[in-house]
Amino acid sequence: MASPRKAVVVAVSGCSSSGKSTLSRLLCDVFPNCFVLHADDFYKPEAEIPTKDGVLDWDCADALSIPDMIRSLEYIHRNGAYPPDLHSKEAQNPSTPPPAIPSTLLSSLRSQVQAWSSSAGHSLLSPSPLPIFILDGFLLYAQSMTALQPQLDIRLFLRTSEEQAKKRRAKRAGYATLEGFWEDPPGYVENIVWPNYVRDHAFLFKDGDVEGEVDEAVMREHGIECLGKGDVDMATTVEWAVNVLMRRLPEVIGERGQGK
């Protein structure tokens, strides 16, 4: 029998600028002993990033060191802590102000989580909280990332439209890289980000239309939780995500406690 895991990994995935990082931070505001891990911290050196029409393609699986991601998640599951050699570049990125979330909502969600834990007697929160690691990544459920997926205990998927992705990404100053700083060239979302998203996620949607209806049967098959048909405000999104975690965490904890 395998040893019980000492942490839960919650994946938050979706297109670039779908709200993954914001939701991840808010979940850590609501759940105790909760930490964020960024897939962006596993980019390869710039010299190894693929190009598309002469432009660096940071939004494909080949831009990431998937073996390093797997090793880090295995370490987290075994030890309940960050790998000592993992240093985040994401913290260096200029952050955009989060959407207005009423402080009363976050207070209410914290109270709900505490009451849920107390009434159900979950080992998740007391007496020694089981760590929750939120993995924020742009294509965690793509078929090109199949080797990573056994490490994902709970899977949340955020949707956005192409129009909204363009607007949100345009507000970003750029991204820290191993070598320095990256700024999107003109047309980057239209020519690289969105086409890559469509290619890697069409299988999750009816008729491959990523702005249409999700294929519920495929979502269930892959254990993916998804909210709504398109852009959803962050207050609604965080409330949905908290309820999903309260529903799913007892299942995951029970499985891991049995060494599955």
- H or E stretch at 134: strand 132-137
Distance CA 8, CA 101 (A): 26
Residue 206, token pair as written in the block: 């009816």
Parallel/antiparallel/unpaired status of strands 51-52 and 55-56 = antiparallel
200 catalytic per annotation: no
Q: Report yes or no: 140 and 9 within 8 Å, Cβ to Cβ.
A: no
Q: Report yes or no: 111 and 100 within 8 Å, Cβ to Cβ.
A: no
Instruction: For domain 8-257, give its CATH number from 3.20.20.70, 3.40.50.1000, 3.40.50.720, 3.40.50.300.
Output: 3.40.50.300
Annotated catalytic residue within 29, 40, 68, 85: 40
So what's the pLDDT on residue 118?
78
Residue 19, token pair as written in the block: 């709200």
Rg, Å, the chain Cα set: 18
Half-sphere exposure of 63 (CA within 13 A, CB side): 23
Q: Where are the domains of the chain?
A: 8-257
3-state SS class at 19: coil
Q: What is the pTM of this model?
A: 0.89
Output the tens digit of pLDDT for each of the chain's 260 residues: 356 778 999 999 999 888 898 999 999 999 988 999 999 889 999 899 999 989 999 999 999 999 999 999 999 999 999 999 887 655 544 445 566 788 899 999 999 998 888 776 555 555 557 899 999 998 999 999 999 999 999 999 999 999 988 888 877 655 656 666 678 888 899 999 999 999 999 999 999 999 999 999 999 999 999 987 667 889 999 999 999 999 999 888 875 444 44
